[in-house]
Amino acid sequence: MESKRQQQFAKLIQQDLSDIFQKDMRTTFGKAFVTITDVKMTPDLAIARVYLSFMLANDKAGLLQDIREKSKHIRGILGNRIRNQARIIPNLEFFIDDTAEYAAQMDALISGLDIPPLKEGEEIELD
């Protein structure tokens, strides 16, 4: 469970990183649209685990590797933005957030189930 301080700092990092990815680095990743879905902070606020979602990206793993290689540059831009609000500029660790894809797969599985309707007078047995 994250403390309130961790949650507030994570929210600040998420907002600023979203702005960086949408404005400052938009052309860096080609046509890919990168969204920051979540940020989790360590208790000492030294590491930010950033979860990304990609749209219009053919090679998500390659794009993630490219972002990881540019993490020092991204951290520098972030540091310039939050230097008056934070004592520590956290190290950034990037991960793919695949919860939307997982939800879509589960939805497809559930919608593909063939469940016959109950016959007249038949009841569902719950154990």
82-87 CB contacts, 8 Å cutoff, 24+ apart: 82/12, 82/13, 82/16, 85/12, 86/9, 86/12, 86/45
Mean pLDDT of 64-77: 94
- Tens digit of each residue's pLDDT (9 = 90 or more) over 8-60: 999 999 999 999 999 888 788 778 888 999 999 999 999 999 999 888 888 88
- Tens digit of each residue's pLDDT (9 = 90 or more) over 4-20: 999 999 999 999 999 99
Say whether 114 sits in a helix, a strand or coil.
coil
> Considering only CA atoms, which of 102, 98, 40, 41 is closest in space to residue 64?
98
